[in-house]
Amino acid sequence: MTRLIAVAVLVGALANAAPPPHLARGEAAPEFKVERLVGGELTLSSLRGRVVVLDFWATWCPPCRAELPWLMKLARRYESRGVFFVAMNQDDGPQRALAAQFAAELPGIDRFITLGGSALAGPYRVDGLPTLYVLDRQGRVFASAEGRLTEESVVSVLEQALK
């Protein structure tokens, strides 16, 4: 029972952690078209039917860099259950190359990284990093949070979103 209460508190905290300026739970996520680090483009509409985790991050952000390894571990773990992770890199201009350098340090992470995410900071109301959105299968906001998270809190929200 205590564990169930703890999970409910974590789900509530992550779902309500975003300040009011962020997209609200149930709100349609803005469409996007971004360049993938491994080549090609990715659109939100191409991900309909999947739970989508959007992680807005930058190479200069220490909490972002700390979270990405365990987020990518979760990406691989949940991929077969219909979850798609997108690491929306916020580095612009000459700094975009830093995303590729960072990806080289973590084998396999490159397939989750997209470039040009800074253009989406406005539509997604990102005002601090890291910012994480979990979108339901219809592309609506299920949960959002800004700042450093724990792996357990994200797992808890993903399990709820998959129900």
How many Å apart are CA 120 and CA 33, to the nearest integer?
9
Block means of pLDDT (10 residues each) for the chain, 163 residues, are: 47 51 94 96 98 97 96 96 97 89 92 94 96 98 97 98 96
**Residue from 105, 100, 129, 112 nearest 34 by CA:** 112
Number of domains comprising the chain: 1
Beta bridge pairs of residue 131: 56, 146
Global pTM exceeds 0.95: no
Residue 149 backbone phi and psi in degrees, to 5: -115, 170
CATH code, domain with 71: 3.40.30.10
**Residue from 21, 37, 24, 31 nearest 52 by CA:** 31
Domain that holds residue 29: 2-161
| Residue pair 139/48 in contact by the 8 Å Cβ criterion | yes
